[in-house]
């Protein structure tokens, strides 16, 4: 079975494989808090990852290899994740009398009933969560399954970069892992939190209650359109545009003509996503919105969203209490930090018991 729940043995390098960028992040634990030891963000060619699926393993592996080299990390043990959208999660109950081998066989039998793919095409793992609250002879078991090719392509990409992919996580679990840090930075205790992750080609809304994701929705919208438009009118490469956006060095006419309208569109797309959430009618209203992903680095996007939606909106920052290692350039890290939330959650897996 796939090591979705493998217990860490060494510090793990967090590897986030997105549609347009790969991100690597290394953390170490201090007596109080954490230190950022290494990080890098590397652009991917168009088509390398499509709809959350790695299409070109050698290209992604080469980008990751470049990222590890830029970061200066010597850590070879890595963790990456698959999107929740490609994962089936099921809570099951089994007798506590089963041995682990017997339980594994029983889980395969059970999985065959609700997984809509042949089992030889599926990666399956499980975690015994403990004794049932209603029956002392029963264990609660969490089953996770996804298509084998979704796992294999990411694992091959990481291994192809000269790393060892030790754990495959799920992105929602990794994001939940950042909640205690976000709570300290943004005063989230007792609040219903909307986390909006806006990447290059997609935007996801995660709603968290008591630090757990209770709702998620992904839609097609991202920063690629803005990047392509700016690249054409300014005769710049995509990498140059991304750098100029982060540095705030775009000419004022391009900011007025392209960036400001895009920020309004982003606010409208977020509003649309929230309407879907509220129409579900199953959870409380949001107390705060946190923005993450590369698009969230646009200057004053949080203010635009807050003004349009009337909700307290901030850029997610799990790093505010962390120390910076000697290999990390503060200016560059601060420009990239909003896109490193998932990589942070993955790296934090290193410090779980």
The pLDDT of 167-179, averaged and rounded, is: 95
> In the prediction, which pLDDT does 169 show?
93
Query: In this model, does residue 2 exceed pLDDT 70?
Result: no
Query: In this model, does residue 173 exceed pLDDT 70?
Result: yes
Of 53-62, 125-134, 154-163, 189-198, the poorest mean pLDDT is in 125-134
Query: In this model, does residue 123 exceed pLDDT 90?
Result: no
Q: What is the largest CA-CA distance in the chain?
A: 70
Query: In this model, does residue 221 exceed pLDDT 70?
Result: yes
pTM: 0.91
Residue 265: CA count within 13 A, CB half-sphere? 16
> In the prediction, which pLDDT does 5 show?
54
The pLDDT of 13-24, averaged and rounded, is: 96
Helix (H) or strand (E) holding 150: helix 148-160
> In the prediction, which pLDDT does 3 show?
59
Query: In this model, does residue 73 exceed pLDDT 90?
Result: yes
> In the prediction, which pLDDT does 118 show?
86
Cβ atoms of residues 159 and 58 within 8 Å: no
Determine the number of helices (DSSP H) and then strands (DSSP E) in the chain.
12, 16
* 1-89+97-116+148-176+319-353 and 179-317 in the same fold: yes
* pLDDT band of 174, cuts 50, 70, 90: very high
Helix (H) or strand (E) holding 66: helix 57-71
> In the prediction, which pLDDT does 117 show?
85
> In the prediction, which pLDDT does 246 show?
81
The pLDDT of 184-206, averaged and rounded, is: 95
* pLDDT band of 111, cuts 50, 70, 90: confident
Q: Give the homologous superfamily in CATH for domain 1-89+97-116+148-176+319-353.
A: ATPase, nucleotide binding domain (3.30.420.40)
What's CA 41's distance to the chain center, in Å? 14
Helix (H) or strand (E) holding 107: helix 100-114
Rounded to 5 degrees, φ, ψ at 56 are -125, 85
> In the prediction, which pLDDT does 243 show?
84
Q: Where are the beta strands (DSSP E) in the chain?
A: 13-17, 21-29, 34-43, 49-50, 53-54, 77-82, 87-95, 122-131, 138-147, 164-170, 192-198, 202-209, 212-220, 288-292, 313-315, 323-324
> In the prediction, which pLDDT does 60 show?
98
Q: pLDDT tens across 79-93, in order?
A: 999 998 889 888 899
From the CA atom positions of the chain, what is the Rg in Å?
21
Query: In this model, does residue 280 exceed pLDDT 60?
Result: yes
Q: Which two tokens mark 278? A: 């509220």
Cβ atoms of residues 40 and 71 within 8 Å: yes
Query: In this model, does residue 6 exceed pLDDT 70?
Result: no
Q: Where are the domains of the chain?
A: 1-89+97-116+148-176+319-353, 179-317
Which position has the higher pLDDT, 76 or 244?
76
Percent of the chain with pLDDT over 70: 97
Q: pLDDT tens across 314-342, in order?
A: 999 999 999 999 989 999 999 999 999 99
- Which range of 34-43, 122-131, 274-283 scores highest in mean pLDDT? It is 34-43
Query: In this model, does residue 125 exceed pLDDT 90?
Result: no
Query: In this model, does residue 9 exceed pLDDT 60?
Result: no
- 3-state SS, residue 217: strand
Of 6-20, 107-121, 255-269, the poorest mean pLDDT is in 6-20
Cβ atoms of residues 313 and 150 within 8 Å: no
- What is the chain's mean pLDDT, rounded? 92
Cβ atoms of residues 4 and 167 within 8 Å: yes
Produce one character per residue of 298-330: b if its CB has 16 or more CB atoms within 10 Å, e if not: beebbebbbebbebebbbbbbbeebeebeebee
CATH class entry, domain 179-317:
alpha beta
Query: In this model, does residue 101 exceed pLDDT 90?
Result: no
Nearest to 4 by CA among 69, 84, 63, 67: 84
Query: In this model, does residue 249 exceed pLDDT 70?
Result: yes
> In the prediction, which pLDDT does 110 show?
87
Nearest to 195 by CA among 124, 270, 134: 270
d(CA 2, CA 93): 20
């Amino acid at each position: 079975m796939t090591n979705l729940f493998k217990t860490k043995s060494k510090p793990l390098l967090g590897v986030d494989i997105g549609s347009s960028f790969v991100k690597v992040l290394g953390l170490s634990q201090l007596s109080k808090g954490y230190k950022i030891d290494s990080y890098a963000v590397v652009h991917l060619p168009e088509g390398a990852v499509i709809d959350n699926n790695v299409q070109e393993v050698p290209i992604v592996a080469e980008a990751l290899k470049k990222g590890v080299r830029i970061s200066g990390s010597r850590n070879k043990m890595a963790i990456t994740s698959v999107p929740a959208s490609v994962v089936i999660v099921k809570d099951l109950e089994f007798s506590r009398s089963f041995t682990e081998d017997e339980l594994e066989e029983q889980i395969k039998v059970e999985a065959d009933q609700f997984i809509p793919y042949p089992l030889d095409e599926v990666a399956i793992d499980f975690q015994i969560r403990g004794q049932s609250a209603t029956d002392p002879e029963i264990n609660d078991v969490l089953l996770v399954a996804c298509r084998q090719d979704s796992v294999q392509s990411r694992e091959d990409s990481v291994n192809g970069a000269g790393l060892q992919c030790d754990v495959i996580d799920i992105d929602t679990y990794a994001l939940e892992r950042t909640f205690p840090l976000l709570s300290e930075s943004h005063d989230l205790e007792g609040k219903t939190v909307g986390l909006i992750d806006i990447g290059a080609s997609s935007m996801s809304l995660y709603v968290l209650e008591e630090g757990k994701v209770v709702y998620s929705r992904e839609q097609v919208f991202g920063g690629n359109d803005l990047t392509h438009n700016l690249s054409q009118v300014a005769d710049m490469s995509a990498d140059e545009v991304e750098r100029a956006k982060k540095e705030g060095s775009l000419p004022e006419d391009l900011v007025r003509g392209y960036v400001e309208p895009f920020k309004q569109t982003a606010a409208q797309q977020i509003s649309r996503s929230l309407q879907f959430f509220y129409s579900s009618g199953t959870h409380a209203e949001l107390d705060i919105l946190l923005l993450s992903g590369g698009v969230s680095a646009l200057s004053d996007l949080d203010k635009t969203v807050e003004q349009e939606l009337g909700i307290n909106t901030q850029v997610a920052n799990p790093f505010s209490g962390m120390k910076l290692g000697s290999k990390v350039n503060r200016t560059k890290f601060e420009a990239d930090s909003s896109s490193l939330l998932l990589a942070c959650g993955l790296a934090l897996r290193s410090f779980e018991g």
